[in-house]
Amino acid sequence: MRHEFAHALADAWAEATKTTARDPDAMPPNLARRLAFRFLTLAFRLQITVAKNLDVFTSADLSLSDQALVRVIFERARKKGLLGKLWAETEKLHTDPADCMGSRAGWEDP
């Protein structure tokens, strides 16, 4: 279980920090790592709720492994410019707010 979490975290972080020539203002790695960690520490049902709320989840995704599912969710959120909203929705469900990121600095959605 711990091994799967580590892989899912690494995949989510990698997906959230992808940059392209057209996206020089992509998310800084420390924010992406924090988002991945905060999202993955939610209960699975809450992860799915967040993904559904952002329309980055389909019922067909349930056939994916946990690692692949998280990668797909983060990829869709990144492509739709929803990483800031993914952060906000994730934080709403945590009882211990991430005070260092509360303003979503560096996450502004287009």
Instruction: Report the chain's terminal Cα–Cα distance, integer Å.
Output: 36
The whole-number pLDDT of residue 30 equals: 74
Q: Is residue 64 part of a domain?
A: yes
Q: Is residue 44 part of a domain?
A: yes
The whole-number pLDDT of residue 28 equals: 56
Q: Is residue 52 part of a domain?
A: yes
Q: Is residue 109 part of a domain?
A: no
Q: Is residue 107 part of a domain?
A: no
Q: Is residue 104 part of a domain?
A: no
Nearest-angstrom CA–CA distance, 84 and 62: 24
Q: Which domain holds residue 82?
A: 2-18+27-98
Longest C-alpha distance within the chain, in Å? 38
pTM of the model: 0.68
**How many domains are contained in the chain?**
1
The whole-number pLDDT of residue 55 equals: 97
Query: Region 67-91: what's the mean pLDDT?
Result: 91
pLDDT digits (tens, 9 = 90+) for 49-66: 999 999 999 999 989 988
Tokens for 99, please give them: 């005070």
